[in-house]
Amino acid sequence: MNMKYAAYEGTARRNWKPRIKPTADQLAAADRFKADGFAAIPPPTRMTAEKLLAIKQAVDRRFEEQNNGYVVNYGMFRMIDGIELIPEVIDFIDDDLEAIIENYYGSHFKIFAVSFYRTLPTPDKPDSSFLWHLDNCPKQEIKLMVYLDDVVAETGALSVKDKPFSDGLRKEGFFDRRRINRFVDRLGDTGTTRVLEGPTGTRLLFENGACIHKATSPQRDHRDVVTFVLIPSDIPWRPHFARSRNLLSTNAGICIDPFRDQPEHVGYQY
């Protein structure tokens, strides 16, 4: 798998034809994302408050219609057919974000999967089952998570450890979320924890296989997000999206063949 991704990444880099000349800010953001393993980017400048509100209301309405959707695990619910029902979230990938991600990769990128989900309080089990972990995925995979609510620590912000810290723990053997006993003190240290708060439309990029991260159980209200799983691509994301958009809600697990966009799993339970 690693060799297949390395070969594909090489092809992707050779085929990169950026549409836009990056600004100094975009290059700096790409470099920071590379160094830290995560980056928080404000909502697209061209997305008005009205449009953000309309998206948020569409998300609330669909979750209501679906009775909160598919139960992934305790306190976490997935929307069925998310990107089909709310396609306008694609506008969270604007020219600015495109430039940041392309300069981070040194290539085009593509969307492998899209998932809308809601985290809800679990008052009977307040710290629920959200544990520090690394996603088990190729190192070229990253996630773009977009907040669809105003998010603070108490309403379930994503927490991350930066890449240098995560690399250190990984070298000591951290990888399995059920065997973190040796690491609990350092994981619990708020000094190295970045709690990513932000208003509706905030965009979070993170290296999900390299940066230790965790969801937080909301203490009140709920938190809705849409997460895009991204990998390098030999063609620009938009035509790839046009050809594959009907597959992205059910693509699950990892992309096991980046040349053929083959999903590891299909369905909503992942």
Ligand X SMILES: O=C(O)CCC(=O)C(=O)O
Site residues, ligand X (CB under 6 A):
135, 143, 158, 208, 213, 215, 227
- Among the listed ranges 18-26, 128-136, 149-157, 237-245, the one in contact with Fe ion (CB under 5 A) is 128-136
- Minimum CB separation of residue 146 from Fe ion in Å reads 15
Sign of CA dihedral 41, 42, 46, 50: positive
Query: Does residue 214 belong to the site contacting Fe ion (CB under 5 A)?
Result: no
Q: Closest residue to ligand X, Cβ-based? A: 215
31 binding partner (options Fe ion, ligand X, none; Cβ < 5 to 8 Å by kind):
none
Query: Does residue 252 belong to the site contacting Fe ion (CB under 5 A)?
Result: no
Using CA atoms, how far apart are residues 98 and 243, in angstroms rounded to an integer? 18
Using CA atoms, how far apart are residues 243 and 256, in angstroms rounded to an integer? 19
- Among the listed ranges 19-27, 46-54, 133-141, 232-240, the one in contact with Fe ion (CB under 5 A) is 133-141
143 binding partner (options ligand X, Fe ion, none; Cβ < 5 to 8 Å by kind):
ligand X
Q: At what angle do helices 95-105 and 24-36 cross, to 10 degrees?
A: 50
Query: Does residue 253 belong to the site contacting Fe ion (CB under 5 A)?
Result: no
103 binding partner (options ligand X, Fe ion, none; Cβ < 5 to 8 Å by kind):
none
Nearest CB to ligand X, comparing residues 158 and 255 = 158
140 binding partner (options ligand X, Fe ion, none; Cβ < 5 to 8 Å by kind):
none
Nearest to 256 by CA among 144, 138, 140, 145: 138
Using CA atoms, how far apart are residues 55 and 221, in angstroms rounded to an integer? 18
- Minimum CB separation of residue 166 from Fe ion in Å reads 12
Using CA atoms, how far apart are residues 53 and 59, in angstroms rounded to an integer? 10
Nearest CB to ligand X, comparing residues 143 and 194 = 143
- Minimum CB separation of residue 145 from ligand X in Å reads 6
What DSSP element (H or E) covers 51? helix 49-65
- Six token digits for residue 225: 């997000």
Using CA atoms, how far apart are residues 78 and 226, in angstroms rounded to an integer? 10
- Minimum CB separation of residue 160 from ligand X in Å reads 9
Task: Decide if 153 contacts 216 (C-beta within 8 A).
Answer: yes
- Minimum CB separation of residue 111 from ligand X in Å reads 14
Nearest CB to ligand X, comparing residues 143 and 240 = 143
Q: Around 166, how many Cα atoms within 13 Å sit in the side-chain half-sphere?
A: 25
158 binding partner (options ligand X, Fe ion, none; Cβ < 5 to 8 Å by kind):
ligand X
- Minimum CB separation of residue 143 from ligand X in Å reads 5
Using CA atoms, how far apart are residues 128 and 216, in angstroms rounded to an integer? 9
Task: Decide if 120 contacts 43 (C-beta within 8 A).
Answer: no
- Among the listed ranges 96-104, 127-135, 152-160, 163-171, the one in contact with Fe ion (CB under 5 A) is 127-135
Angular region, 199: left φ>0, alpha ψ -120 to 50, beta rest:
beta
- Minimum CB separation of residue 257 from Fe ion in Å reads 22
Query: Does residue 135 belong to the site contacting Fe ion (CB under 5 A)?
Result: yes
List contacts with Fe ion (CB under 5 A): 135
